[in-house]
Amino acid sequence: MKRYIRKNILELEPYSTARDEFQGGDISVWLDANESPYPNGVNRYPDPHQKRLKERVSQLTGVAPESIFIGGAGSDEAIDVIFRVFCTPGKDNVIAIAPSYGVYKVAAAVNDIEIREVLLNEDYSLPAERLLAAADENTKVMWICSPNNPTGNAFPKEEILSLAAKFDGIVVVDEAYADFSEKGSLLSEIGKVKNLIVLRTFSKAWGMAGLRAGMAFSLPEINEYFGRVKYPYNMSSMIQEELMRRIEEGTSDHIPEIVSERNRMAKALEKAGCVGRVYPSDANFLLVKVKDADALYGYLIKNGVIVRNRSRMPLCSETLRITIGTPSENDRTISLINEFNNL
């Protein structure tokens, strides 16, 4: 795996925090980190390695703690760290499917990395041959979002695994929406497939978008470098505590409800006159092709409902992406769309 890692990162001497240098012992006076000695709940630095939290996440996922990275700016932090670990600015490139999550492109641009976007097939399936053909000797990473945002579909696991077997580089599978999908997860492949990184987040199914916590899972040989590149204290002690508390409580389990609402809403929208197509979804949103997306988008806003207009994304002309809300929010949206149709 080492050959995919940037040379300067391989040679990097990571910042050693006061808490890294201290190993064990029975300390009652902490004068090593220039903290305030006066307790107020947050006067001490947090654990830079999030050891207890990673143990919790390990119990939750079955992945060993040494294979877990946790970002305090959500999985968006993991995306940025992946660019910084593998890609040399101005030289390397990455491949991504299109349309997909916009952050890959922004993070590529920030890091001065070329991103080669490969259009999905017309039916939103994975263009495996074209993805592989887009690679050259400077291609380090391939970004696959599954279930994909904004198309909503998950790609078959075997297709992604076959891509990973053929691709000479790192395959990142962003599974932000996997909890809503019946097509499963690649988390169980961590440790078996060497060049695989799986991203997960607490922002969607776990209902904690406000906390900002995301995860990357990979072999310890890769994960070690994430630990070196991240900011030493990238997650506050309050968030670590809060996450552990909430993980212990379990997901509030709105997942079955959201999935059944998604299916109900898909059926209802298919009947609306202005709706051309509701794409199959493995996520907590629906991509809907409509007669006049800009007009419907404006009409919904005028009535207090905001959705995402994805019409300007490739292969997505005249589409809106609608997040699944509560049953009453969904009812309201369905009736507004029917009403628009009869205007």
Ligand X SMILES: *Cc1c(COP(=O)(O)O)cnc(C)c1O
Residue number, 33 or 209, with CB nearest to ligand X: 209
CB of 284 to ligand X, least distance (A): 10
Residue number, 45 or 203, with CB nearest to ligand X: 203
CB of 258 to ligand X, least distance (A): 14
Residue number, 203 or 319, with CB nearest to ligand X: 203
CB of 101 to ligand X, least distance (A): 4
CB of 214 to ligand X, least distance (A): 4
CB of 179 to ligand X, least distance (A): 12
Residue number, 18 or 73, with CB nearest to ligand X: 73
CB of 99 to ligand X, least distance (A): 11
Name the residue whose CB lies closest to ligand X: 74
Per-residue three-class SS string for the chain: CHHHCCHHHHCCCCCCCHHHHCCCCCCCCCCCCCCCCCCCCCCCCCCCCCHHHHHHHHHHHCCCHHHEEEEECEHHHHHHHHHHHHCCCCCCEEEEEECCCCHHHHHHHHCCCEEEEEECCCCCCCCHHHHHHCCCCCEEEEEEECCCCCCCCCCCHHHHHHHHHHCCCEEEEECCCHHHCCCCCCHHHCCCCCCEEEEEECCCCCCCCCCCEEEEECCHHHHHHHHHHCCCCCCCHHHHHHHHHHHHHCCCCCHHHHHHHHHHHHHHHHCCCCEEEECCCCCCEEEEEECCHHHHHHHHHHCCCCCEECCCCCCCCCEEEEECCCHHHHHHHHHHHHHHHCC
Residue number, 96 or 274, with CB nearest to ligand X: 96
Binding-site ranges for ligand X (CB under 6 A)? 74-76, 101, 145, 149, 174, 176, 201, 203-204, 209, 214
Residue number, 201 or 240, with CB nearest to ligand X: 201
